[in-house]
């Protein structure tokens, strides 16, 4: 996603048959909270011709409340926790696994 010829965000995904995995979504910090993440996700979910019944999976840091609220507002449901999914130099963090089934 670009704004005034400057990249402010991106989304990476993998699609195999009827399963789409959102691998990474990022928006530059000064542009967070402006709706760009929602626009990226809406583009992915509406503009790419995905078959009915496609399951869309993602993981989100347990502490990332704004992202969790965004995903829930788009219809994603929490289905599990991945312990120590995110690994940093001096700590780890659990991830919440979420899914959305397209109808």
Q: Which residues are catalytic?
A: 59, 71
Smallest CA-to-CA distance from 43 within 11, 80, 66, 82 is with 11
Round to whole Å and give the CA distance between 64 and 40.
18
Residue 97 φ/ψ, nearest 5 degrees: -90, 135
Smallest CA-to-CA distance from 13 within 41, 53, 49 is with 41
């Amino acid at each position: 996603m670009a704004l005034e010829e400057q990249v402010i965000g991106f989304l990476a995904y993998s699609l195999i048959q009827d399963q789409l995995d959102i691998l990474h979504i990022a928006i530059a910090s000064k542009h967070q909270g402006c709706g760009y993440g929602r626009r990226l996700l809406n583009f992915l979910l509406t503009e790419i011709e995905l078959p009915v019944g496609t399951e869309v999976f993602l993981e989100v840091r347990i502490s990332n409340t704004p992202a969790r609220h965004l995903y829930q507002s788009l219809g994603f449901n929490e289905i599990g926790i991945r312990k120590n999914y995110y690994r940093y130099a001096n700590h780890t963090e659990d991830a919440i696994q979420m899914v959305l089934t397209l109808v």
